[in-house]
Amino acid sequence: MNEPRTTGPLRPPARPPLILVTTLLLALTACGGGPTGRGPTTTPPGHQVPVPAPIGTPTGTGVQATIGAAGGTLTTADGSVRIDIPAGALSGDQTVGLQPITRTAPGGTGQAYRLSPEGLTFARPVRLTFSYTDQDVSGSAPEVLSLGFQDVRGVWQYHRAPTRDVAAKTVSVETTHFSDWSLLEGIQLKPLSAEVEVGGSLDLQLITCLHPDGETEGPIPSSSCGPAAAAFTAHSWAANGAVGGNSTAGTVAETGNGQGTARYTAPMKPPGKNPVAVSVRVSDLMLGDVTVVANVQVRPPANTWQGYVFYTETGRQPWKMQDGFEGAGSNYAKQTHTFKVVGETPVDAWNTTLLLEQEGSAEYSSIGHREKKIYEICQAFGEKILRHHFIYDRNFQMSGTVKATLEARLHLSDGHYSLSFAPKLVPMTGQDKTVDIYKDGCAHTVNDHSSTKPVNTSEEPLNTNVEGALDPAHPNVLKGKAEGSSTVFIQPTQYLLSWDLKRGP
């Protein structure tokens, strides 16, 4: 790869148009080692000097390997970083290492690493590959993710043209030197992630961490992060994919007359898809349109009701063997429900309508085998043989799940509270397989009454109304449980209803 131009006086180039500066955010080519192995400076004479960053300190355990002239590979224990050294890059055996360090790069993301020994250079470029997670590109986009190194001055340099594999979630560059390296985001939407209360608002801004005087060739130095030159191209602000947002996900609108800023306003209750993906499209000459996304968690207001109601019901009973039958089997029933408070609407001073999210499941089975054998003499003076043989087998199983949103009425008065709601039924499906056989040993006959039939039914919790006395010391905490017995088909069951609700932080 070409070495950066660092010698001889250079004429400062004319400042490029704003649309071109957007392309500069996508960073950089490899460069040779500097006096300390941290790479050279790339700011030409007469240009503003970028701000250096602190040197990272080791964190955790690194990995090492000895690689010779034939080349080889070194990978971190979790596989997140890989160095591929080709044959001929080294003249002889050399111990190389990957040490995790604190990340100090402006616009950095993920885990930073020190490639050792610092100052080591190669006769042929080596390939450095970083893997990234969805969290690593929060507030940015995979298409503008790059790798960078810290030079001799402490300034981080972005690579202009990395190899990005969005499907494999990797970013790779070729380099001829070892120093401190990190994943870097060329464009960010700040805050990368945030929380906002229902009905509240949050200001967002596009920024870049690249120095405005970076050359159009070679590495781009990174300074402190600030407003993005690409801001004027920002368009199509959206919430959960809806341009401009909506009443469910919240709304987002541009502010500041093309300065890359916008304001997100949360809906009046937490949305089903939470956190909300607040996004903006940025036009770039090299990449076309890039979508940058920040995640905003919408939380209930501090003085609202929060918590859960739980319902479980179980029962198991062995088959009873009568009339001389032998065998084993059991009936089993179970259902579980979780009701989460996700919103509320005050009705008056004593009543509140709570919005509950229900997730439930139910199952029932009757499985077993029984039989009875009767020995008799079929003719005078004959021997006893197995004359009557009764056989019965059953495999009856069904199950189902339910997800629903429903309303509950919470009533508070005179030191007492009650919560009433009607949960959705759990639709269950399955099959009932039976075999009923009678064999007559004297007549040598067999009557087989086997059958398989589909089963569809529904099951519901027996009791989902809760009530109790308010604790004068904790009037905003509602907690308790109720137990009882029920029946699923003919199977006796025991249920437990518990609740834990509170109002406020």
Closest-CA residue to 360 (of 314, 310, 408, 410):
310
Choices 3.90.1150.10, 1.10.8.60, 3.90.180.10, 2.60.40.10: CATH for 190-209+225-299: 2.60.40.10
Averaged pLDDT score across all residues of the chain = 85
145 forms bridges with which residues in the sheet?
Answer: 185
pLDDT surpasses 50 at 324: yes
Instruction: Please write the tens of the pLDDT for every residue from 141-150.
Output: 898 888 999 9
Instruction: Please write the tens of the pLDDT for every residue from 374-409.
Output: 999 988 888 899 999 999 999 999 999 999 999 999
Residue with token string 């380099």: 175
Contact yes or no for 26/287 (Cβ under 8 A): yes
Of all helices (H) and strands (E), which one includes residue 351?
Answer: strand 351-377
- The CA distance from 253 to 74, in Å, is 47
Instruction: Please write the tens of the pLDDT for every residue from 329-358.
Output: 999 999 999 999 998 888 887 899 999 999
User: pTM of the prediction?
Assistant: 0.55
User: Do 18-188 and 190-209+225-299 fold alike per CATH?
Assistant: no
Q: Which amino acid is at 12?
A: P
Instruction: Please write the tens of the pLDDT for every residue from 287-307.
Output: 568 899 999 999 887 778 999
**Predicted pLDDT of residue 285:** 61
Contact yes or no for 145/158 (Cβ under 8 A): no
CATH class, 18-188 region: mainly beta
- The CA distance from 274 to 270, in Å, is 7
**Predicted pLDDT of residue 402:** 96
Q: What is the domain partition of the chain in residue ranges?
A: 18-188, 190-209+225-299, 305-367+398-431+455-503
- The CA distance from 96 to 291, in Å, is 38
Handedness of CA 293, 294, 295, 296 (dihedral sign): negative
Q: Which amino acid is at 268?
A: M
pLDDT tier at 117, thresholds 50, 70, 90? very high
Q: How far apart are the first and last CA of the chain?
A: 57
Instruction: Please write the tens of the pLDDT for every residue from 247-280.
Output: 999 999 999 777 889 999 999 888 989 999 999 9
What's the DSSP call for residue 381? Answer: T
**Predicted pLDDT of residue 215:** 45
**Predicted pLDDT of residue 37:** 42
